[in-house]
A and B are shown apart, each in its own frame.
Chain A
Amino acid sequence: MLEVTLYFVQQLINGITIGSTYALIAIGYTMVYGIIGMINFAHGEVYMIGTYIAFMAITGLSMLGIEFLPIVFAVALISSMLVSSTFGLAIERVAYRPLRGGNRLIPLISAIGMSFFLQNYVRISQGARDIAMPSVVTGGWNFGPEHGFQASISYMQIIIFIATFISMTALTLFISRSRLGRACRATAQDLKMAGLLGINTNNVIAATFVIGAALAAVAGTLLGMYYGVANAYIGFLAGLKAFTAAVLGGIGSLPGAMLGGLILGISESMTAAYFSTEYKDVVSFGLLVLILLFKPTGILGKPEVEKI
């Protein structure tokens, strides 16, 4: 009995780890959708760039002989958030702003183009090969009987939990308490009206791209350190999973993105645990179809009200 419970707990930990990083990336999709009603298909690429920058920072620091973990982590995180935010801002300026107000399909295409451009830009500037980095954080805690199945949680997983929790709390506080956050909510409710009431909606939209990109960079740094490999194409799958998470939770809703990420991560790890690893994507996308069948707006999504 103990073993069964421990095994379940272990798989739950694994699921939450991967799910919380999906949630971090999903925020970027859901915020942009919530405000301008468009999907930013270049968002996965921002995550990929975040991973690359974190790798560069960590390698650079270890070349300087700095290996004190808190410093390494902080520098990697901050530099990757800064650079990725710049990319987020640039994507908005180049691929979205000039096309705003036109047909909704046009920015979609330009975002896909942006995604290809960024993939190939990184591929050309950083090389087509996978880059690999040894583990920065090793070890973990085991609990359970001495002989028999032990559940374990690695220090890296703990770091992922804590970093995700802090980012999510900060974002929630920012949206609910700060002036810009209030402007974000107002713009999401009604872009035109918010503009008429004196909110600089251009800045608000730019800010959502920046926030989304910064969170994707957090995910990029964490997963980069966890897996230790990256290439120019990791953004595609990560973006797809995060987008699924956003839709699952109800696109446009922040708590929805967090919930969607966790559900996706846990369902993947449970499928691998009790069924088979090869079907984990089948089950998680099957789940998406089921939920959308019964609740087309996602778990926490609100039905779209026709704006007059």
Chain B
Amino acid sequence: MKKKVAQKVLGLSASVLLAGSFSLANAETIKIAIAGPQTGDVAQYGDMQVIGAEMAVEQINAAGGVNGDKIEAIRYDDACEPKQAVAVANKIVNDGIKFVVGHLCSGSTQPASDVYEDEGILAISPASTNPEITQRGYKMIFRTIGLDSHQGPTAGRYIADKIKPSKVAVIHDKQQYGEGIATAVKKTLEEKGVNVALFEGVNKGDKDFSPLIAKLQKEKVDFVYYGGYHPELGQMLRQAAEKGFKAKFMGPEGVGNKDISQIAGDASEGLLVTLPPAFDQRPENKDLVQAFKDKSEDPSGAFVMTSYAAVKVIADAVAATKSQDTDAIQEYLRSHTFKTPMGEISFDDKGDLKGFDFEVYTWHADGSKSSVN
């Protein structure tokens, strides 16, 4: 008798489970993977990506979703490591997800994009700026940010035309992103006739830069460009201040994050940074900025709006093509214009944004920034 009851209970729960899975399958969801560093030393950029992308998902869902379907955002952590990025990419394939907003670090995006291209997964990076990523003729890889081949010259021109230093050192972290942009800056400076006295790599994760700083002091360098991320530059600024080395420093968007002020303190005052334009200060984004503030999130991060835009672009394309067929969507992306918080954006054949430019900002010790113009 007992056995029968048990069987019945089991059967019942099984049917409930079945019903559950049916109802899930019926309400079609559009899954978007948010892949970026959620741990590790550059996790702050992952935060920017997550709050931007999740805000977009929330607002699109609140407005009725995409043709009635809801979007679901799923986070994946690559810790900004190329190896882990490939593992994450394979996991996204296995999870049957068709769209990726990511990755952030160029060194992660590059190997992961091979997987996405092979598997027909559409990936939009809101932050990877290394030119190489979209130069391989891939169909599925897009980005909602500019390229270091533009960012480098923007920085180089600013240094040559506005700062006019007598001796420049260009330092980089030997990573795809850091060395790429450092090389671009060096090229522009040399074309402009600026004296680049030193071009040198440091090891990522290094903390002691006192020998390097002494070298810069000896060479009487008065301007330092650093290609890389904030943990190393923060340490350099801090040690330079301790040693009384007074050159001006500049870095790409990978250093523009509040942690640099935490590490370097007052030494971060006056640092120059090239960043995407401050979309959060545009009047047309006032409501969106308020929505972030209501959730006590910070909309001023460099990659918040680019991540929002990446989700928006995917949602618009899915809505217009009425399918999740990534091949149709990539064609749609290349031939249409999208309305996003970054303004009207469109992609060229390579998957890069048309007409995107970086701007130069001055960083302040309290973690805020102001435009140099």
B-binding residues in A (CB < 8 A): 3, 7, 10-11, 14-15, 17-18, 123, 128-130, 132-135, 138-140, 142, 149-152, 154, 156, 223, 227-229, 231, 237, 268-270, 272-273, 276-278, 280-281
B20 interface residue, CB < 8 Å from A?
no
User: Ordered nearest first, which 7 A-B pairs have the shortest CB separation?
Assistant: A272-B211, A128-B39, A278-B201, A132-B262, A14-B210, A269-B211, A134-B265
The closest CB in chain B to the CB of A138 belongs to: B242
Interface-lining segment among B9-17, B66-74, B230-238: B230-238
Q: Are B211 and A128 in contact (CB under 8 A)?
A: no
- A197 to B248 alpha-carbon distance, docked (Å): 66
Contact with A along B242-283 (1 / 0, CB 8 A): 111000000000000001001101000000000000000000
Contact of A135 among B43, B201, B265 (CB under 8 A): B265
Contact of B200 among A135, A154, A276 (CB under 8 A): A276
Which interface class (under 10, 10 to 19, 20 to 34, 35 or more) fits B? Answer: 35 or more
Q: Return B163 CB to nearest CB of chain A, in Å.
A: 22
Residue contacts A-B, CB under 8 angstroms, 17 given: A11-B211, A18-B210, A128-B40, A130-B41, A130-B259, A132-B234, A132-B262, A132-B263, A134-B265, A154-B242, A228-B238, A229-B207, A231-B40, A231-B41, A277-B201, A278-B202, A281-B203
The closest CB in chain A to the CB of B205 belongs to: A237
- A7 to B214 alpha-carbon distance, docked (Å): 7
Q: Are A156 and B242 in contact (CB under 8 A)?
A: yes
Contact with A along B193-231 (1 / 0, CB 8 A): 000000011110101111110110110100000000001
* Residues in A neighbouring B234, C-beta threshold 8 A: 132, 229
Contact with A along B30-41 (1 / 0, CB 8 A): 000000001111
Q: Are B262 and A272 in contact (CB under 8 A)?
A: no
The closest CB in chain B to the CB of A131 belongs to: B262
The closest CB in chain A to the CB of B245 belongs to: A152
The closest CB in chain B to the CB of A227 belongs to: B207
Q: Are B210 and A17 in contact (CB under 8 A)?
A: yes
* Residues in B neighbouring A277, C-beta threshold 8 A: 171, 200-203, 209, 211-212
Q: Name B279-331 residues within 8 Å CB distance of A.
A: none
Q: Are B231 and A229 in contact (CB under 8 A)?
A: yes
B150 interface residue, CB < 8 Å from A?
no
* Residues in A neighbouring B174, C-beta threshold 8 A: 278
Q: Are A140 and B202 in contact (CB under 8 A)?
A: no
The closest CB in chain B to the CB of A129 belongs to: B43
Q: Are B262 and A278 in contact (CB under 8 A)?
A: no
- A195 to B162 alpha-carbon distance, docked (Å): 75
Q: Name B24-61 residues within 8 Å CB distance of A.
A: 38-41, 43-44
Contact of A134 among B231, B244, B262 (CB under 8 A): B262
- A152 to B209 alpha-carbon distance, docked (Å): 14
**Most B C-beta atoms less than 10 A away, residue of A139, A142, A150, A278:** A278
A-binding residues in B (CB < 8 A): 38-41, 43-44, 171, 174, 200-203, 205, 207-212, 214-215, 217-218, 220, 231, 234-235, 238, 241-244, 259, 262-263, 265
* Residues in B neighbouring A150, C-beta threshold 8 A: 217, 244
List 18 additional A-B contacts (Cβ < 8 Å) besides A17-B210, A229-B234: A14-B214, A17-B208, A128-B39, A128-B43, A132-B259, A134-B265, A135-B265, A140-B243, A151-B214, A227-B207, A228-B238, A229-B263, A272-B215, A273-B214, A277-B209, A278-B200, A278-B203, A281-B203
* Residues in A neighbouring B241, C-beta threshold 8 A: 138
- A229 to B243 alpha-carbon distance, docked (Å): 18
* Residues in B neighbouring A138, C-beta threshold 8 A: 241-242
The closest CB in chain B to the CB of A154 belongs to: B242
* Residues in A neighbouring B39, C-beta threshold 8 A: 123, 128-129
Q: Are B242 and A135 in contact (CB under 8 A)?
A: yes
The closest CB in chain B to the CB of A17 belongs to: B210
- A134 to B259 alpha-carbon distance, docked (Å): 11
- A130 to B231 alpha-carbon distance, docked (Å): 9
Q: Are B214 and A11 in contact (CB under 8 A)?
A: yes
Instruction: Indicate whether A152 sits within 8 Å of B244 (C-beta atoms), given known contacts A14-B214, A273-B215, A278-B203.
Output: yes
* Residues in B neighbouring A154, C-beta threshold 8 A: 242-243
- A154 to B217 alpha-carbon distance, docked (Å): 15
Q: Return A6 CB to nearest CB of chain B, in Å.
A: 9
The closest CB in chain A to the CB of B40 belongs to: A128
* Residues in A neighbouring B211, C-beta threshold 8 A: 11, 14-15, 268-270, 272-273, 277, 280
- A141 to B94 alpha-carbon distance, docked (Å): 60
Q: Are B263 and A228 in contact (CB under 8 A)?
A: yes
- A17 to B215 alpha-carbon distance, docked (Å): 17
Instruction: Indicate whether A140 sits within 8 Å of B262 (C-beta atoms), given known contacts A149-B217, A277-B202.
Output: no
**Most A C-beta atoms less than 10 A away, residue of B38, B43, B217:** B217
Q: Are B40 and A149 in contact (CB under 8 A)?
A: no
- A140 to B205 alpha-carbon distance, docked (Å): 26
The closest CB in chain A to the CB of B208 belongs to: A18
* Residues in A neighbouring B200, C-beta threshold 8 A: 276-278
Q: Return A287 CB to nearest CB of chain B, in Å.
A: 16
Q: Return B175 CB to nearest CB of chain A, in Å.
A: 12
**Most A C-beta atoms less than 10 A away, residue of B211, B217, B238, B259:** B211
- A7 to B205 alpha-carbon distance, docked (Å): 25
The closest CB in chain A to the CB of B230 belongs to: A130
Q: Return A34 CB to nearest CB of chain B, in Å.
A: 28
The closest CB in chain A to the CB of B215 belongs to: A273
The closest CB in chain B to the CB of A152 belongs to: B243
- A289 to B242 alpha-carbon distance, docked (Å): 35
- A169 to B171 alpha-carbon distance, docked (Å): 40
- A151 to B215 alpha-carbon distance, docked (Å): 11
**Most B C-beta atoms less than 10 A away, residue of A11, A154, A156, A272:** A272
